[in-house]
Every structure is written in structure tokens, then in C-alpha cells.
């Protein structure tokens, strides 16, 4: 199993990748953390736009 997440602009955010056989729970936790961070950034952008 492998998963890759690479920002097309590496100067902005670090890229992310992992390959198995790492622990599935750890992988899911990492993905969930990324999703929470994305939602936090979206909320921040919305705040800036509404001001």
C-alpha cells in the first residue's frame, strides 16, 4: 500500500507520502490530521475574505 500527497508548489507546504506496511491506524490518523488542517485553513481563508 502506498499513498502520496504532493503540493504542486513545494515552496508552500511540505509534501507528504508514506508506503506500507506501516500501521493502518497511523496512516488513517495522519490523513485525518491533514483533513483537519485543510478545514482549518479553509475557515481562515473564509474569515479573511469576509473581512
Separation between Cα atoms, residue 25 and residue 32, nearest integer Å: 10
Share of the chain above pLDDT 90, in %: 37
What is the enclosing helix (H) or strand (E) of 32? helix 24-50
* pLDDT value of residue 24: 81
Model pLDDT for residues 31-49, shown as the tens digit of each residue: 999 999 999 999 999 999 9
- Residues 2, 27, 36: CA angle, nearest 5 degrees: 120
Give the residue-averaged pLDDT of 2-7. 55
Separation between Cα atoms, residue 48 and residue 51, nearest integer Å: 5
What is the enclosing helix (H) or strand (E) of 3? strand 2-5
pTM for the model stands at: 0.51
Amino acid at each position: 500500500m502506498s499513498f502520496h500527497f504532493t503540493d504542486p508548489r513545494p515552496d508552500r507546504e511540505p509534501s507528504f507520502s508514506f508506503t506500507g506496511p506501516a500501521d493502518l491506524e497511523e496512516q488513517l490518523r495522519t490523513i485525518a490530521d491533514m483533513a483537519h488542517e485543510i478545514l482549518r485553513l479553509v475557515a481562515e481563508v473564509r474569515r479573511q475574505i469576509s473581512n
